[in-house]
Structure 1
Amino acid sequence: MLDTNTKRRIDTARDILVGKVPDPKSQVEQITIALIYKFMDDMDAESEEFGGERRFFSNGYSKYSWAKLMRSGLGGYETLNLYAEAIAKMQENPAIPVLFRSIFKNAYLPYRDPETLKSFLKVIDEFEYDHSERLGDAFEYLLSVLGSQGDAGQFRTPRHIIDLMVKIINPKKHEKILDPACGTAGFLISSYKHIKDANKETPLTPDEMGSLAANIKGYDISPDMVRLSLVNMYLHGFYNPHIEEYDTLSSQDKWNEYADVILANPPFMSPKGGIKPHKRFSVQSKRSEVLFVDYMAEHLTPTGRAAIIVPEGIIFQRGKAYQQLREMLINDFLIGVISLPSGVFMPYTGVKTSILVLDRVTARIKDDILFSEVKHIGFSLGVKRTPSNHNDLPNILNDYEAYHNEGDLSACSWVASRQEILENDCVLTGSHYRSIDIKGEERLVSLSDVCRFTKGTFSSTKTEPGPYPLILTAAEPKTASKYQLEGSSVCLPLISSLGHGKAALHRIHFITGKFALANLLVALQPLDDNELNTKYLFFILDAKKPEIASLMRGAANVGMKPQDLARFQIPLPPLEIQKEIVAEIEGYQKVIDGARAVIDNYKPQIPIDPEWEMVSVADVCMVNPKKSELRDLDENTEISFVPMADIGENSMSFEPKKTKKLREVTASYTYFKNDDTLIAKVTPCFENGKAGIAQHLKNEVGFGSSEFYVLRPDKSKIVPEWLYLTVATPAFRAWATPQMTGTGGLQRVPRSVLEDYTIPLPLIEKQQAIVAEIRAEQALVNANRELIERFKKKIQATIARVWGEDKTESES
């Protein structure tokens, strides 16, 4: 369990670095290097304490010891130069093991600010070397800040998904375990913990522990990932971790090495031009996801097992390589496919994925394959990851035990014969093989059973309003009339909304009356109006856009065929129930539409009197007050901290969510007090309207991003809200944007532009009266926002009930 103090230190170290090192991966690297530096000195000190000698910081490297680096009296630039020189030279230190030299390989200090470095090193100095689980968990928490490694297609795998895969595969103490795309070694460490836990009644002997450590191996093509893996393994008790920089797909050096257990989340994305693999793969392809799965299957021992996260292309793509790969897996390796919901990898990506479970022994014995669908993972699928009581993962784990022991399966899982799958182009989409359920009077039916499908014929991809919706050339009604459809219909695009090789469905259309259809859309109309209500069909399908998008295939031009959509299943209650559901949802939607109209049409209006005095911003406020005002405040005083992300857009006030010690923020952040107005100065935050008045600061002091301007009003001249209402406006943003300086995405508003901007200045009493009126209006607008969110949840809850998901209105 990660203790609070260690987590706080890591967060503080990142907060100090963020102004100079904005990339999360670089922050992790800098903290990793500093921690290992400090720990080597700790180990030297421990050696001296027990009568030994310093090992790491000896001979010519003694001048770099942590104690000398942190000694009082050392100037800021002296500290900076000494530290930068030390980390750059440490890889040449003959006294440190190869592991540590690997960690310091190509290390450097990416900034030259001595105050930032001193604050950073002060936090690192609070850590103490310890091989305990606590420190390993702390490092895993540090790694959790890593986001997408976009170009390589890598995404950090959530811990609960890793643990599920490990438990299903159940690695043993004598087995060789491999992750050929190991990232930060999460699968390897989870396997190690699983084996230790499985043997806790008869703990592993020292020889068994040594053998286990030697059997756990990982490869990664990225030297940065290798460095992080080495540290992560080391802090979990691996004194000589076997992590190597290796191109799994292009190199043949390790081709003849096999493993009993392989666990991996390999890169999803192939670089432009594809991979250039050698010729020893069974499946010839240039797609990384195909090659990785082929590699892992081919490198299992005769009794080997694997669990692999794959993108949806592996599941249903009909290209030759994909079909050849699936056929090989179905015949000799595959025992299970676990479909994961689209949001598993949020906030990094919403990509849809599945887990392939391979078991060479079981595949030879059993004639069927287990399919599972995960809808709930114990957390919400949005960015915030709110814990939830809904969790299908324990059911999936139990289903694999039941599959092996001929037991009963939960509602999350079902089986299909290998022969049936082979006859269906080896497609591994589980819904194709799930039998129709009868739930009282409610049935699950395929769309083809209840709908007429009509594919469009016009060469258009646009949707336009008017007498002929979904036609590009609305000026051709005579031509269009030959292709008219009539009646209520649900129309879906057959191509991805995103392009770029990604499957997505952003919009489904409900159409009534006469219309003509573009050739990249398909219209669904009920075969029998007494069986299926069209509006009900629209609401049901609109709620399942990600699942429908998973039917799309292709590399560059991603799309689906009407016949694939025809197999999609929906719940079909009696017609009267359908009409009740439609009436309920439409009632909620009317409330949402009304509230949204209020929000969209409301803008604070200040009736400008031409006789009011016009003044510059600099005449009525101080811009960026000096931090020297706080010189009498103790450095351990708790103050409020406000990252840029916590400031809203076009909302008048904000309240801070975090607190820090004054000493943690003084060097790198912007200072403000209650009633000060903050305005973002950097693109795109400035253009988006990030601004607000500080309220309820702890000890009346706040610090925030250096990319804010702070406006402190002279309250004898101007009311704080009046200052905000006249400066944080679209008019000011439009006036200032052409005067921004800088290059690319880092343009900023010059301070002089802000100070020279002129605003109206009536008497204080008039300002107060207008502000009070606007405050009252904004309270009503905010109430409408809350109303929208509440009624959206009501709609979601209604749809979820129909799908049998039992989602409560309060669930996020």
Structure 2
Amino acid sequence: MLQNNPELKNKIDQLWNKFWSGGISNPLTAIEQITYLLFMKRLDELDLKRQSDAEWIGGEYTSKFEGDWIPPEYRARWEDKDTESDWARKQEDEKRYAVKKSTLRWSEFKRMQAEEMLQHVQGKVFPFLKDLNGSESSFTHHMKNAVFIIAKPALLVEAVKTIDEIFEVMERDSRENGQAFQDIQGDVYEMLLSEIATAGKNGQFRTPRHIIKLMSDLVQPQLGHRIADPACGSGGFLLGAYQYIVTQLAINAGSKDLMPDEDGFVRTSVAAALTEKAKAILASSLWGYDIDATMVRLGLMNLMMHGIDDPHIDYKDTLSKSYTEESEYDIVMANPPFTGSIDRGDINENLQLSTTKTELLFVENIYRLLKKGGTACVIVPQGVLFGSGSAFKALRQLLIERCDLKAVITLPSGVFKPYAGVSTAILLFTKVWDSKDKVTQPATENVWFYEMAADGYSLDDKRSKQDGNGDLQDIVAKYRSRNSANNDDRSAKWFVVARGEIENEGYDLSLSRYKTDVFEDVHYDPPGVILDRLIIGEVGDPDGMDLTNLQSGIVRELLDLREMVG
């Protein structure tokens, strides 16, 4: 997290202030513009690294900056024209409007003078960025309406300089601390949202990376799984699943130099060792949807900066009637928005819960998206666990009867600060019965509960890194051994509750309903001893004192009280 590197935090503060003073004060607009620049920088670096890797191993790699680029508006002129005269004019146009791709690199245009740089980035680099994956790609489709609004040459120059400095800090931090290169775009996004009072107002705040890593370790996605997030935001869960899979493949291939990160998880984003087949399978495995066009673009660029060339992130309302996918995914990981209600007329008729509350509808929809045998790991507000409304109870009954509800992990209320202080929980469940199936036997036998007390960070607005990893690694270890360990002690952090008991409690899933409180005997000194202690604090040892010479006041009253109690 940014708070653990003051130098990095300071650089990003500087970047935010430059955009603010440069007239771009809307936070999401600033985030989007900054992300475009980060993407330009990262694209250049990744391309150069892939070229270097290919040369090192004797492989082949075609640079994204090799050859000429013809802007799409000029390409479109000649799509349906193939006469000889047209062909000659087409070649003429190509010579006139062709741009050498090498000049579109960050490392090239950052050396330009201010005015020239702005014109070059506005007129050539940004249009090239929008056209990067070809006219048919999801990225190009969603970038179609993107606009580069930095209008001041000085702001662009300062932003480019600061982003170079940010990369230098992060690369040094990576080398010195042995960590994988961090999610820069995500860090900037998180930091900018923390600067404004309305952060999280529309559910647009990032899930902390260590919580995503925890959830990935719990569901253990594998190569070949179809993985989705129906409210993906900037793509954090998809990236978390991707990194988990790549890490496991690297370990299976014999990598020995992977070390636990600051949260105790082993992770790498380096996919260079993967076969082309594995890369293709992995790239087609990740699917994200969001109803905010800006977030879709941020998510696309986030995954592309981590080596997924053509991510599947789309603009869709997954609760609406227009979204028809069902039983499609092996894994669903999500932290869906739970900020209120939606219009009843817009709700997909396949959703059976009689409610407009998004926190309930999203969980039901996630159940619907899972294949039989598919597993979901979802963050919900704790009210979902015990709400007394009929829709709350119906959802919990669905999770118990139609799914194998494996775990309920309660999180401390500070996990999502500074954005929100709401208490949340992680639900982990596997779909057993489809919505059309008749349930002959409830799927859940036992539910494993864990009460997380700490996540390795302070639970105030600063969220500073603490010594150790809190309960993160303990949760993973205890969950994996839950069937073999003794889980009967209801006073412990973790325990198992049988389905029958949960049914008898009206499908209540709140941990406090089943936890046994332990009261310790507290020894108190006799009143006379306590009074002596108070008197000594005022005048010293009271034995043998001449009370006639003692001034009236609190000490006199304490002495009188001691005489009364004996």
Within 5 Å, which residues of 2 pair with 1:593-742? none
CA 1:87–1:50: 2 relative to 1, 3 Å: closer
CA distance in 2, matches of 1:114, 1:157: 35
Aligned to 1:140: 186
Aligned to 1:28: 31
CA distance in 1, matches of 2:210, 2:477: 15
CA distance in 2, matches of 1:218, 1:241: 9
Letter in structure 2 aligned against 1:386: S
Aligned to 1:266: 336
CA 1:376–1:35: 2 relative to 1, 3 Å: closer
Pick one of 414, 418, 431 that aligns with 1:360.
Answer: 431
Residues 180-208 of structure 1, C-alpha deviations (whole Å, 9 max, x = no match)? 11111111111122122223343354313
Whether the 8 Å CA contact 2:289–2:316 is kept in 1: the answer is yes
CA distance in 2, matches of 1:50, 1:90: 10
Query: RMSD over aligned Cα, in angstroms?
Result: 4.2
Letter in structure 2 aligned against 1:403: R
> Is 1:17 matched with 2:19?
yes
CA distance in 2, matches of 1:27, 1:220: 19
TM-aligned CA deviation for residue 82 of structure 1: 5.4
Residues 146-190 of structure 1, C-alpha deviations (whole Å, 9 max, x = no match)? 536544323311111111111111112221111111111111111
CA distance in 2, matches of 1:4, 1:176: 38
CA distance in 2, matches of 1:56, 1:399: 57
Pick one of 399, 402, 406 that aligns with 2:481.
Answer: 402
Aligned to 1:241: 311
> Secondary structure of 1:405's partner?
coil
Within 5 Å, which residues of 2 pair with 1:84-233? 84-86=122-124, 89=127, 93=131, 96=134, 98=137, 100-102=139-141, 104-110=143-149, 112-124=151-163, 137-147=183-193, 150-203=200-253, 205-233=275-303
With CA pairs under 8 Å and 6+ residues apart, which has the higher RCO, 1 or 2?
2
Aligned to 2:270: none
Within 5 Å, which residues of 2 pair with 1:324-363? 324-333=394-403, 334-360=405-431
Aligned to 1:594: none
TM-aligned CA deviation for residue 358 of structure 1: 0.5
Whether the 8 Å CA contact 1:152–1:269 is kept in 2: the answer is yes
CA distance in 2, matches of 1:5, 1:62: 38
Aligned to 2:508: 427
Structure (1 or 2) with the greater strand fraction: 1
Q: Sequence identity, in percent?
A: 31
Aligned to 2:497: 416
Aligned to 1:54: 68
CA 1:139–1:332: 2 relative to 1, 3 Å: same
User: Matched residue pairs, number?
Assistant: 449
Pick one of 374, 380, 390 that aligns with 1:304.
Answer: 374
Whether the 8 Å CA contact 2:65–2:104 is kept in 1: the answer is no
CA 1:124–1:392: 2 relative to 1, 3 Å: closer
CA distance in 1, matches of 2:494, 2:233: 30
Whether the 8 Å CA contact 2:488–2:496 is kept in 1: the answer is no
Whether the 8 Å CA contact 2:445–2:499 is kept in 1: the answer is yes
Whether the 8 Å CA contact 1:402–1:409 is kept in 2: the answer is no
Aligned to 2:58: none
CA 1:348–1:127: 2 relative to 1, 3 Å: closer
Aligned to 1:628: none
TM-aligned CA deviation for residue 418 of structure 1: 1.4
Pick one of 359, 362, 371 that aligns with 2:449.
Answer: 371
TM-aligned CA deviation for residue 43 of structure 1: 8.7
> Is the radius of gyration larger for structure 1 or structure 2?
1
Whether the 8 Å CA contact 2:203–2:338 is kept in 1: the answer is yes
Whether the 8 Å CA contact 2:342–2:356 is kept in 1: the answer is no
Letter in structure 2 aligned against 1:573: D
Whether the 8 Å CA contact 2:354–2:391 is kept in 1: the answer is yes
CA distance in 2, matches of 1:240, 1:48: 16
TM-aligned CA deviation for residue 257 of structure 1: 4.8
Residues 743-800 of structure 1, C-alpha deviations (whole Å, 9 max, x = no match)? xxxxxxxxxxxxxxxxxxxxxxxxxxxxxxxxxxxxxxxxxxxxxxxxxxxxxxxxxx
TM-aligned CA deviation for residue 87 of structure 1: 7.1
Letter in structure 1 aligned against 2:524: E
Whether the 8 Å CA contact 2:114–2:156 is kept in 1: the answer is no
Whether the 8 Å CA contact 1:267–1:289 is kept in 2: the answer is yes
Aligned to 2:551: none
> Secondary structure of 2:309's partner?
coil
CA distance in 2, matches of 1:351, 1:187: 20
> Secondary structure of 1:370's partner?
strand
Residues 65-121 of structure 1, C-alpha deviations (whole Å, 9 max, x = no match)? 54786565564xx65455445577557758856355356433334454332233223
CA 1:136–1:326: 2 relative to 1, 3 Å: same
Residues 262-304 of structure 1, C-alpha deviations (whole Å, 9 max, x = no match)? 1100001135656720211132321111110001112211211
Residues 301-352 of structure 1, C-alpha deviations (whole Å, 9 max, x = no match)? 1211111000122111111111111111111222211111111100111111
TM-score, scaled relative to structure 2: 0.68
> Secondary structure of 1:403's partner?
coil
> Secondary structure of 2:346's partner?
coil
> Secondary structure of 2:320's partner?
coil
Pick one of 362, 366, 378 that aligns with 1:292.
Answer: 362
Letter in structure 2 aligned against 1:25: L
TM-aligned CA deviation for residue 251 of structure 1: 3.7
CA distance in 1, matches of 2:502, 2:478: 20
> Secondary structure of 1:145's partner?
helix
Task: Give ranges in structure 1 of 5+ residues lacking alignment.
Answer: 437-443, 445-570, 587-812
Whether the 8 Å CA contact 1:24–1:146 is kept in 2: the answer is yes
